[in-house]
Structure 1
C-alpha cells in the first residue's frame, strides 16, 4: 500500500489512534449479533494472522468488551509482546452469558470488571474504557455509579481515558460533557447523532464510530459502499476513528484502503 494510515489525536487525552480500529466481537461471540450473514469464530492461528495484518496495515486501535464472549481472554495471549503497539479499548456495564445480556452499572461491578479485563488482557492498564449503555443513557450517566468509579480508576492509572458507548443524542451529548470520549452510531443510513459529533469536535473530545456500515447492511447501487461510507464518516472532522469488526483479511485490507483514501 503506497500510502498509510496516519494516527490522529483522540480528543485531549494524549492518546493517538489510527482512523480505523479493529473490532473483535467476532473473535469471541457468535450469538445475538446483528450481522446479515452467519460466521465462524476464527481459531487462534487465523485470529493471530488477522491481528498481525491489522498492525501491518497501520491499525493501532483494537476494540473489545466483556460482553464480546471470550474476546478479551483471547486477546491477552494474542497480543503478548505487542502491548506497546496497541491502543486497547474495552467496556464495562454489560455482561453476556448463555445468549443473554445483563447490565450492572454499580461501582462494585465496575471495579470488578476493570480488574477482570486487566487480568484477561494481561496488561497493567487499559487505554480507554467505555460504558456499554443499556439504552437508558441519561440514567446511566446521571444516576449510576459507573462514571465516578471509572474516574477513580483513571486517577489510579488503571485506565487512561473513559467514556460512554451511547444510543441516544441526549446521552451522547451528556457523555461528551462529563467524560473523555463517546462512541456513537453514524453511517449513510443513520445520521441522527451528528450533533454529538459536532459537540465532540468543538470541545476536543474523543469520538469513535460504531456501525459504520450499519452492521454490514449498507448497499448502494453502482457505488462502492465501503468507500462511500468512509468518505461520509470522515467528511466530519470530529471523528477520531471508526471501529470495524471484520474477521476477513480481504475485507480488512479494503476497509483500510478506503479509510486512507477518505482521510488523505
Structure 2
C-alpha cells in the first residue's frame, strides 16, 4: 500500500480508503435488507483485516446506519492506526432551509458529539459536510462553525462532500476547506478539471464512485436496456486490459490515482474478496503517461447522464 499527503492537512492516507456505508446499512447493488449484510462481528474482522492490508483511511457518516458504532468497536484499541473521516447530519431542514446562529452551531456540535461517542474517540481526523450544495458552500456561518471545531481540537481537518462540478469549484475557491470528497472515474471525469487548482491550493481530494458501484470491474452483470450505451462504452476500456493491467478495476483505480491532487480512492467494501480486490488495484507500477492520456480522452460522451442515484431510483441498477 502506498500513502499520499491529504493536501495540507498533515495527514498521510492510504491510496485505498475503506467506504463504511455498506457495513452500516443496506446499500448497493443486490443489497435489499439487513439479511444481505455482514453480521457485526464479521464486519469488525473485515475492518481489522483492512488495517493489516495497509488501509488507514476509513470513511463513515452519521447517516450510515450502524457504521460509526461498528467502527468504534473495531478501532477502540487501534485508534492511532487509523485516520477517521465522518460527516455531519444533513444541514438542511425538512423545508430546505439551513439553521442559523446558535441553532446551527448546536445542530452541528450535537451531530459531531454523536459521532465521537459512536466511534469511541475524542477527535476526528476529518469532519465533512454531508453533501455541501451551493447554498451551503456560500453560507459563511457553516464554514465558521466547522472552523471552530478545529480550533477546539475536536477535529484535525474539515471538508465537504459534493456532487456537482460547480460545488467543487466553489469549495476550492473559498479557501476554507481542507479536503473535498467527490465523484470521479474513467467514465465521468468532469471534476478532474479542478484537480490542478485543488493541488495548488493544498486541498486534499478523496474520490468516490471510482468503480461506478462495480460497473468498472470484471464482475460482469446484465445491464438494464436503458444502459446499453454505457455498457458498450465500458467494453471499450476492457480492450485496454492486458498483462500490466489484468483487470478493469485496476485500470480504473490506477487512472484516478495518477492525478497528483488525488490522495485516496474510496472503495465500498463489505466482503473480504472486495477488500483483496481493492488492495490489488494499487499494487505494482503506476499508470504510464501514454495510457493515462488515452484514458483521459475516453470519458463517456454524455457525462451528465451518469447519475447513479437516479439510475437507482429508476430501477436500472
Normalising TM by the smaller chain, what interval?
0.7 to 0.9
d(CA) in 2 for partners of 1:186 and 1:155? 31
Partner-residue secondary structure (3-state), 1:247: coil
Of the candidates 171, 175, 182, which is equivalent to residue 175 of structure 1?
171
Q: Over residues 144-190 of structure 1, what are the superposed CA-to-partner deviations in whole Å (9 max), with x where a residue is unaligned?
A: 63221110000000000001101111211221232101111110111
d(CA) in 2 for partners of 1:80 and 1:168? 35
Q: Which residue of 2 aligns with 1:58?
A: 54
| Two-structure CA RMSD over aligned residues (Å) | 2.1
Of the candidates 30, 33, 39, which is equivalent to residue 37 of structure 1?
30
Of the candidates 164, 186, 192, which is equivalent to residue 160 of structure 2?
164
d(CA) in 1 for partners of 2:107 and 2:200? 33
What is the aligned residue count? Answer: 250
Q: Which residue of 2 aligns with 1:26?
A: 22
**Which segment drifts farther, 229-238 or 137-146?**
137-146
Partner-residue secondary structure (3-state), 2:163: coil
Task: Give runs of ≥4 in structure 1 deviating > 6 Å.
Answer: none
Of the candidates 173, 184, 192, which is equivalent to residue 186 of structure 1?
184
CA contact (8 A) 1:93 1:103 kept: no
Of the candidates 266, 269, 272, which is equivalent to residue 243 of structure 1?
266
Partner-residue secondary structure (3-state), 1:259: coil
Of the candidates 136, 146, 149, which is equivalent to residue 145 of structure 2?
149
Q: 1:252 to 1:104 in 2, by over 3 A?
A: farther
User: Cα distance, 1:205 vs. partner?
Assistant: 1.2
The structure with the larger Rg is 2
Q: Over residues 211-259 of structure 1, what are the superposed CA-to-partner deviations in whole Å (9 max), with x where a residue is unaligned?
A: 1111222354343221111121012111000111111111211111112
Q: 1:133 to 1:255 in 2, by over 3 A?
A: same
CA contact (8 A) 2:15 2:282 kept: yes
Partner-residue secondary structure (3-state), 1:193: helix
Alignment of 1:73-152 (within 5 A): 73-94=69-90, 106-133=104-131, 137-143=133-139, 145-152=141-148
CA contact (8 A) 2:44 2:70 kept: no
Q: Which residue of 2 aligns with 1:210?
A: 208
d(CA) in 2 for partners of 1:158 and 1:72? 16
d(CA) in 1 for partners of 2:216 and 2:65? 26
Structure 1: segments with no counterpart, 5+ residues: none
CA contact (8 A) 2:76 2:121 kept: no
Q: 1:91 to 1:126 in 2, by over 3 A?
A: same
Could you state the TM-score of these two structures normalised by the residue count of structure 1?
Answer: 0.88
Q: Is 2:230 the partner of 1:232?
A: no
Q: Over residues 4-23 of structure 1, what are the superposed CA-to-partner deviations in whole Å (9 max), with x where a residue is unaligned?
A: x1222111111111111101
CA contact (8 A) 1:93 1:133 kept: no
Q: 1:227 to 1:20 in 2, by over 3 A?
A: same
CA contact (8 A) 2:72 2:118 kept: yes
The structure in which a higher percent of residues are strand is: 1
CA contact (8 A) 1:182 1:208 kept: yes
